[in-house]
Amino acid sequence: MLFKRWIPLGILIFVGLLTLVSWFVPHDPIGHLGQDFSQFFDILASFAIILGAANLIKLQGLKILQRKRNWPYSIVTIVGFLVMAYVGMNWHSYFGSQARYLAGTQVNHPQSHFFWIYWYIFQPLSATMYALLAFYVASASYRAFRARNLEATILLAAGIVVMLGRVPLGQTFTGWLPEQGFASGFRLEQVADWIYTYPNTAGQRAIMIGIALGVVSTSLRLILGIEKSFLGEE
């Protein structure tokens, strides 16, 4: 129990309290420790990313060994990973030769193989994956968004006004209204601006304040050692 519960709990409480106090006490040793802990956190975040990559390879490897559904595609994942990892970790992997090779600069250099794979494989795949969402949102708009009740109607009306008010073509629908004076407030772009500046702000603020209170209470529970779900306990 010492290694499984009390030490991690102790680490969490110590680090949490010190981090909280360091917001208010910038002087040594608390201020210095707080700065050190920020650097340590960044380093641990990197290890977590590397762990995620290792975990992916482990899962894909198991999928191949156990011949699960679509297992040949896991070979594609692993090969893609290994090739990118090789050019990413090898600081001599360039098109042509460089004046000097400095470890780590290949991940920022436009002449590196790493950059080529990023720009011509990672970038189009990432962008196109997200671009697919445009089709899904259009399909959802047509097939699923129904004004079944007053709330849904308000949602759709606000959405339509914002969609039309933010583009030039939509703005021309009310372009005949004067640009100054009371009537100008009914131009689509003005209504859209007003919607997201005032009613939207009100709604979002209610959500933000609610979330903030939730975060504060959860953080307090963690720092005080009440919340132990990360240990697998209730």
Among 46, 62, 178, 183, binds other proteins (CB under 8 A): 46
What are 18's two structure tokens? 């010190």
Query: How many C-beta atoms surround the C-beta of residue 183 within 10 A?
Result: 13
Count the site residues for other proteins by CB under 8 A: 154
Q: How far is the CB of 90 from other proteins (least distance, A)?
A: 10
Find out whether 174 and 186 touch, Cβ atoms under 8 Å.
yes
Q: Please, how many CA atoms are within 13 Å of residue 191, restricted to the half-sphere of its CB? A: 20
Binding string, residues 47-66; x marks residues near other proteins by CB under 8 A: xxxxxxxxxxxx-x------
User: Should residue 226 be labelled a site residue for other proteins when binding is judged by CB under 8 A?
Assistant: no
The footprint of other proteins on residues 148-207 (CB under 8 A) is: 150-152, 154-164, 166-172, 185, 189, 192-207
> Which segments of 66-183 does DSSP mark as H helices, in order?
71-89, 113-117, 123-143, 150-165, 168-172
The footprint of other proteins on residues 86-115 (CB under 8 A) is: 88-89, 91, 95, 100-105, 107-108, 110, 114-115
Q: How far is the CB of 27 from other proteins (least distance, A)?
A: 13
User: Should residue 132 be labelled a site residue for other proteins when binding is judged by CB under 8 A?
Assistant: yes
Q: Which of 156, 169, 160 shows the shortest CA–CA distance to 191?
A: 160
